[in-house]
């Protein structure tokens, strides 16, 4: 609930014009969805859920849906060249195309957002099968990324019409990944305020946190960041913009290799980061490492924590504290060969912030990787 001044009168806005129930799924466009699905199942512990492709009447593409707790990924690849999915992969490499959001009414979500200046990606469309109905609609956001609104209250099928159950005999055990905590977008030079305004005006989000140059520049890898949140806090989209530094910003490196704006990282919640990261490392997931010296003084900065420091330092898990509590977090290396999309694993113990206290150590670790790639 918020109050805004409008045309000399103070108008109370008592309802959220875009009520969101959270992230419905994240869709990646990838060069080889069959292999990507195998990687995410093996390395991250997702289960096979649903499939669409030629066998189900879809001629242009194949999609595998995988799930772990409330975290759903769709991995989509084109079957031929010369179509928007193939073009997306040619331009960006593997990356996030869709951040899908769960709503009660996808038609109203589309009307409210397009009426406020959102550019339509998909007019409301009803999909039906014998399990009921799903309504989809969508708008464009930064780069070639889109938000789909998914209305599925009247649907009891496995994913959505057009998909069949994917019953695989290969289902590695889960790793404790629970749901999307936040999704971060990288935007171009001087584009931060455009996209902050987009999330405020078109989607009714608020800017809940800002970081500038002073907070998060190391010697080189400068960036600015603003965190946008929807009304109930279920959906949080931090936005990064590169800043001038001595050498190339990590955000600029992303923009160069993604060939434009796009999703930088998906942060995934766990209730036990030590167990989760231990399991992920055993399965070959690679993480950014901070120097051992980080742990020598960390407890002076963050105070008492429930966990033993030893496993945290062995695994390279970072710690930060705000007024409300603390958080534990760690970042994977990029998940594809281009230095673009990566994951964050996060366990919140009261803290609602994003690990500002770790930025310096973290960005120095990123710069070491950037330098190895020759991009600093």
Residues lying near Fe ion in the complex (CB under 5 A): 267, 344
Nearest approach in angstroms of CB 330 to Fe ion is 11
Count Cβ atoms below 10 Å from residue 282 Cβ, excluding itself. 10
Contact assessment for residue 370 and residue 253, using Cβ atoms and an 8 Å cutoff? yes
Q: Which lies closer to Fe ion via its Cβ, residue 103 or residue 251?
A: 251
Q: Which lies closer to Fe ion via its Cβ, residue 135 or residue 266?
A: 266
H helix intervals, 239-339: 250-258, 273-282, 298-302, 309-315
Q: Which lies closer to Fe ion via its Cβ, residue 135 or residue 267?
A: 267
Nearest approach in angstroms of CB 168 to Fe ion is 31
Structure tokens at 242: 């590169």
H helix intervals, the chain: 33-44, 84-92, 106-115, 192-201, 213-216, 250-258, 273-282, 298-302, 309-315, 359-372
Residues near 284 by Cβ (< 8 Å), separated by ≥ 6?
43
Q: Which lies closer to Fe ion via its Cβ, residue 41 or residue 348?
A: 348
Nearest approach in angstroms of CB 267 to Fe ion is 4
CA distance 265 to 363: 14
Q: Which lies closer to Fe ion via its Cβ, residue 144 or residue 344?
A: 344
Residues near 314 by Cβ (< 8 Å), separated by ≥ 6?
none
Nearest approach in angstroms of CB 226 to Fe ion is 13
Identify the residue whose tokens are 């806005």: 13
Nearest approach in angstroms of CB 15 to Fe ion is 29
Q: Which lies closer to Fe ion via its Cβ, residue 96 or residue 267?
A: 267
CA distance 192 to 213: 13
Nearest approach in angstroms of CB 354 to Fe ion is 5
Q: Which lies closer to Fe ion via its Cβ, residue 61 or residue 182?
A: 182
Report DSSP letters for 178-246, one per residue: EEEEEEEEE--TT-HHHHHHHHHHTT--EEEEEE-HHHH--SS--EEEEEEE-TTSS-EEEEEEE---S
Nearest approach in angstroms of CB 341 to Fe ion is 12
In the three-class reduction of DSSP (H, G, I as helix; E, B as strand; rest coil), residue 110 is classed as: helix
């Amino acid at each position: 609930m918020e109050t805004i001044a409008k045309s000399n009168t103070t108008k109370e806005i008592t309802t959220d014009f875009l009520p969101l129930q959270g992230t419905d799924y994240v869709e990646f466009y990838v060069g080889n969805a069959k292999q990507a699905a195998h990687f995410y199942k093996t390395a991250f512990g997702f289960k096979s859920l649903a499939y669409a492709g030629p066998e189900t009447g879809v001629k242009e593409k194949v999609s595998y849906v995988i799930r772990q707790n409330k975290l759903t990924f769709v991995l989509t690849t084109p079957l031929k060249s010369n179509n928007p999915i193939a073009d997306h992969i040619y331009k960006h490499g593997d990356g996030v195309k869709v951040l899908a959001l769960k709503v009660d009414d996808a038609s109203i979500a589309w009307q409210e957002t397009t009426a406020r200046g959102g550019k339509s990606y998909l007019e409301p469309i009803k999909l039906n099968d014998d399990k009921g109905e799903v309504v989809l609609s969508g708008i464009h956001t930064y780069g070639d990324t889109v938000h789909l609104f998914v209305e599925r209250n009247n649907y009891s099928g496995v994913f959505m019409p057009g998909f069949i159950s994917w019953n695989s005999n290969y289902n590695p055990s889960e790793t404790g990944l629970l749901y999307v905590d936040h999704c971060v977008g990288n935007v171009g030079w001087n584009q931060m305020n455009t996209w902050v305004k987009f999330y405020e005006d078109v989607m009714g989000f608020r800017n809940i946190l800002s970081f500038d140059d002073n907070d998060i520049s190391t010697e080189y890898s400068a960036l600015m960041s603003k965190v946008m949140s929807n009304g109930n806090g279920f959906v949080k989209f931090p936005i990064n913009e590169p800043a001038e530094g001595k050498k190339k910003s990590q955000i600029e490196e992303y923009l160069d290799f993604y060939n434009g704006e796009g999703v930088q990282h998906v942060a995934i919640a766990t209730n036990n980061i030590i167990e989760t990261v231990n399991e992920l490392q055993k399965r070959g997931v690679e993480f950014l490492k901070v120097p051992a010296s980080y742990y020598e003084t960390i407890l002076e900065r963050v105070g008492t924590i429930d966990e033993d420091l030893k496993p945290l330092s062995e695994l390279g898990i970072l710690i930060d504290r705000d007024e409300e509590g603390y958080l534990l977090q760690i970042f994977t290396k990029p998940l594809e060969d281009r230095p673009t999309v990566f994951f964050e694993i996060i366990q919140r113990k009261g803290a609602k912030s994003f690990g500002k206290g770790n930025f310096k150590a973290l960005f120095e670790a990123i710069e070491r990787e950037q330098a190895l790639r020759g991009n600093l």
